[in-house]
Every structure is written in structure tokens, then in C-alpha cells.
């Protein structure tokens, strides 16, 4: 279905008072522009974290130009940056990570260097790796509001402390330079899911 048709339908719902705002998920810059031309888009959702930064080049310029907010999911890399995953860990088939390339044994072991990097920065900023990871995401643009998922109250409280972590421009440049030198292994999604992403 053309995104313009979707936008027209949502526009009618807004006019009826049934919907207040609308957004898109995993949309390309082209799709965002097409949708926004029919009905202004409030926010766009996509995966975004220290180990998945493609949105910076693919959609950030469009979001900034059009004044659209960004709502990244998995900002702590599916709990990887929380230190909740160890190199030898195997995931149950009910766990979404069980077939993700970056969580396969060989890739996971090699990717631990990113966790070590986050942990070192957390110590430096006297915070937790999760709070550091979230603070980094929020520091990228003023219109970013991450949505870290959790089912545990203590984690919710930990997440809520992230806005208190301040990263200076100098620190952000230092982090950026270091991240560019960390070779990550494996894609972010399994082949089927990857094929479903909007890359138009």
C-alpha cells in the first residue's frame, strides 16, 4: 500500500478526533518525505545504538530538515551494553536475540570490546553502562527520545537516571573517534527481517 494512502487514512482519523499524532517505523528518507507531504509526521522509530548508527546518515538529515522527532528502540543494543550478555551465552528460541547475527557465538565474543568500551566510559563518568549508552544516544540530537525496553522496575529506575549524565562536545568527539575504530561483527537482523526493512 502506498504510504500516501496510509497518510490520508490517518489524516481522516485525526480530523475525526480519533488520532492526535502519527509516526513511522523503520522508514527510509524517501518514505518519510512522501508521508510528510500528505500529513506531517510527528516521529520516526528505528533501531539506534552505539553499535547501529546507520540512521545518522540515512534519515537524520531528513528528520532535522522536516522537524520530525526520532524515537530509537534498542538504544542499549538489546541489553548488550547493559552487560547482561556474556561471550559464551546461548539464547533460547523464544529470545529475539537467538538468531541475530551479532549475538551468534563468534560475533558476540568479538563484539565484547564494545561493552568494555562502554564500561570504561561508565566508570569515567561515575555512572552505569546503561546510563552511559542512553546518555550517548540522547546527546546525538536534541530531538531524540530513546525507548529502552524493560520488564524490571530496578532497570526502569536505572534508565531514568540517564538524563543526568552529561557528555561534553569534546567527550562526544572522543567517543566518536573511538567507536569508529571498533570493528563490530554481524548484522543487526536475520536475513528475513533485514529484507523487510524499507530501503527505498
Residue pLDDT, tens place only, 30-39: 999 999 999 9
Instruction: Tell me the average pLDDT across 10-38.
Output: 98
CATH number of 3-196: 3.20.20.100
What pLDDT score does 74 carry?
Answer: 96
| d(C-alpha 71, C-alpha 8), whole Å | 23
What pLDDT score does 197 carry?
Answer: 83
Read off the pLDDT of residues 127-142 as tens digits, 9 standing for 90 and up: 999 999 999 999 999 9
pLDDT band, very low/low/confident/very high, at 189 (cuts 50, 70, 90): confident
Q: Is the confidence at residue 40, as pLDDT, over 80?
A: yes
What pLDDT score does 41 carry?
Answer: 99
| Percent residues over pLDDT 70 in the chain | 100
Q: Is the confidence at residue 192, as pLDDT, over 90?
A: no
Sheet holding 69-73, edge to edge: 23-25, 43-47, 69-73
Instruction: Tell me the average pLDDT across 171-183.
Output: 97
pLDDT band, very low/low/confident/very high, at 108 (cuts 50, 70, 90): very high
Q: Is the confidence at residue 191, as pLDDT, over 80?
A: no
Read off the pLDDT of residues 94-106 as tens digits, 9 standing for 90 and up: 888 988 999 999 9
Read off the pLDDT of residues 57-92 as tens digits, 9 standing for 90 and up: 999 999 999 999 999 999 999 999 998 888 888 898
Q: Is the confidence at residue 159, as pLDDT, over 80?
A: yes
Amino acid at each position: 500500500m502506498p504510504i500516501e494512502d496510509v497518510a490520508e487514512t490517518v489524516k481522516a482519523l485525526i480530523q475525526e478526533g480519533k488520532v492526535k499524532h502519527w509516526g513511522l517505523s523503520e522508514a527510509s528518507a524517501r518514505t518519510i518525505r512522501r508521508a510528510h507531504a500528505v500529513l506531517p509526521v510527528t516521529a520516526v522509530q528505528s533501531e539506534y545504538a552505539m553499535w547501529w548508527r546507520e540512521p545518522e546518515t540515512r534519515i537524520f538529515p531528513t528528520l532535522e530538515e522536516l522537524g520530525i522527532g526520532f524515537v530509537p528502540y534498542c538504544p542499549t543494543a538489546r541489553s548488550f551494553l547493559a552487560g547482561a550478555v556474556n561471550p559464551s551465552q546461548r539464547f533460547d528460541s523464544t529470545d529475539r536475540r537467538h538468531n541475530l547475527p551479532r549475538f551468534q557465538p563468534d560475533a558476540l565474543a568479538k563484539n565484547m570490546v564494545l561493552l568494555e568500551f562502554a564500561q570504561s566510559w561508565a566508570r569515567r563518568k561515575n555512572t552505569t553502562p546503561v546510563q552511559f549508552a542512553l546518555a550517548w544516544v540522547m546527546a546525538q540530537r536534541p530531538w531524540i527520545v530513546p525507548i529502552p525496553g524493560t520488564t524490571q522496575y530496578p532497570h526502569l529506575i536505572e534508565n531514568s537516571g540517564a538524563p543526568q549524565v552529561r557528555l561534553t562536545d569534546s567527550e562526544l568527539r572522543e567517543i566518536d573517534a573511538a567507536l569508529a575504530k571498533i570493528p563490530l561483527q554481524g548484522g543487526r537482523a536475520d536475513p528475513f527481517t533485514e529484507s523487510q526493512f524499507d530501503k527505498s
